[in-house]
Chain A
Amino acid sequence: MMNDLRFALRMLAKSPGFTAAAIGILALGIGTGRIVSSLLYQVGALDPIAFTVAPLVLAAATLFACWLPARRATRISPLTALRTE
């Protein structure tokens, strides 16, 4: 788990553009929420449920999208994998 986390952090460090975009989009979400707060109906600009559930749904979709090809990869014979490397 810690290895995966270290790997993820290193990938983020190696792709500063992607990291900046992720942080920027998060900040933009919070900023836009505040600006349009008067137009929101029955939900606050910093609604904790919206800000928790949305990332969770996105994370679940990402995990599923990673799990599918990973599962396929584990079923390839090591000999085939080595030959095609």
Chain B
Amino acid sequence: MPESLIKLDGVTKVFLTDEIETHALSGINLDIKQGEYVSIAGPSGCGKSTLLSILGLLDSPTDGSYVLNGRPVQGLSLPERARIRNREIGFIFQSFNLIGDLTVYENVELPLTYRGMPAAERKAAATGALEKVGMAHRAKHLPSQLSGGQQQRVAVARALAGKPAVLLADEPTGNLDSKNGDSVMLLLRELHKVGATIVMVTHDARFARHADRTIHIFDGRVVQEQVESDPTR
């Protein structure tokens, strides 16, 4: 039985604006094992992106506990969270979030630079990640010279390069046409087949079916968990 990689227990998130309390998450319990491919689905505004932000240590829960890779992380300081984020988590965003002034190679290498990795190791890791996503031949290009699908592949390479414990994808196909969307989903599925743990937020049921398990969220609560008997593969 694979070990728990992510364990949330009674996680809530309340946003305070003026005097209004918004309950974005209300008592979320979640257990994600190593090597799982999980999708988080739900309508717009249901709290799925807030949940992904908490899973990615970009935000902290108002209440509840979060254990990542055996370590409680809900009460860590900002620098400690940044350090864990850099080492344990790979992000794939809807709008790619590549740095326009850096080349493809430099974008992939940048998180490794912040980690203090020696130059030779950085080169091997960045080149290896670009080869995995089939973008090594574009290493010297700028993001603006690539199509949306290619930019997302580079973003996947950036997320992969540091060998994170988990890949978090927030609507990775949201800004792509169906052909490029399918190609990115295929890439994620291939990465999962070779052992990557993936948590993906999506509101597209077609893409949610690519995962082993889909967690449906509504009004900040888990309303249904669905194990795919035959994930699209």
Instruction: Give chain A residues whose Cβ lies under 8 Å from the Cβ of B101.
Output: 7, 11
Task: Kindly state the interface size class of chain B when it binds its partner.
Answer: 10 to 19
Closest A-chain residue to B122, C-beta based?
A: A3
Residue B180 is within 8 A (CB to CB) of chain A in the complex = no
Complex Cα distance, B100 from A11, in Å, reads 12
Nearest CB in chain A: distance from B139 CB, A? 14
Bound-state Cα–Cα, A77 to B58, Å: 8
Q: Which residues of A contact B106 (CB under 8 A)?
A: 3, 7
Establish whether residues A79 and B59, one from each chain, have CB atoms under 8 Å apart when the complex forms.
yes
**Contact, CB under 8 Å: A78 / B113:** no
Cross-chain contact A79 with B53 (CB below 8 angstroms): yes
With a CB–CB cut-off of 8 A, which chain A residues contact B37?
Answer: none
CA distance A2 to B119 in the complex (A): 10
Interface residues of B in 165-193 (CB under 8 A from A): none
CA distance A12 to B95 in the complex (A): 28
A6 to B154, CA, bound (A): 21
Using A3-B106, A3-B113 as known contacts, say yes or no to A82 and B97 having CB atoms under 8 A apart: yes
Chain A residues touching B, majority SS: helix
Residue of B nearest to A80 (CB): B58
Q: Is the CB of A79 within 8 A of B97?
A: no
In the assembled complex, the Cα of A2 lies from the Cα of B113 at a distance in Å of 12
The answer to the question of B93 belonging to the interface, with a C-beta cut-off of 8 Å to chain A, is: yes
A79: contacting residue among B58, B102, B113, B119, CB under 8 A: B58
Identify which of residues 58-85 in chain A touch chain B, using a CB-to-CB cut-off of 8 Å.
Answer: 77-79, 82, 85
Report the nearest A residue to B78, measured CB to CB. Answer: A77
Cβ distance A72 to chain B, nearest Cβ, rounded Å: 15
In the complex, are the beta carbons of B58 and A82 less than 8 A apart?
A: yes
CA distance A68 to B53 in the complex (A): 28
Task: Knowing that A78-B82, A78-B85, A79-B59 touch, tell me 6 more A-B residue pairs with CB under 8 angstroms.
Answer: A7-B101, A7-B106, A11-B101, A77-B58, A79-B53, A82-B97
| A-B residue pairs in contact (CB < 8 Å), sample of 6 | A3-B113, A79-B53, A79-B59, A82-B58, A82-B97, A85-B97
Top 10 nearest A-B pairs (CB, nearest first) are A79-B58, A78-B58, A79-B59, A79-B53, A85-B97, A82-B97, A3-B113, A82-B93, A85-B95, A82-B58
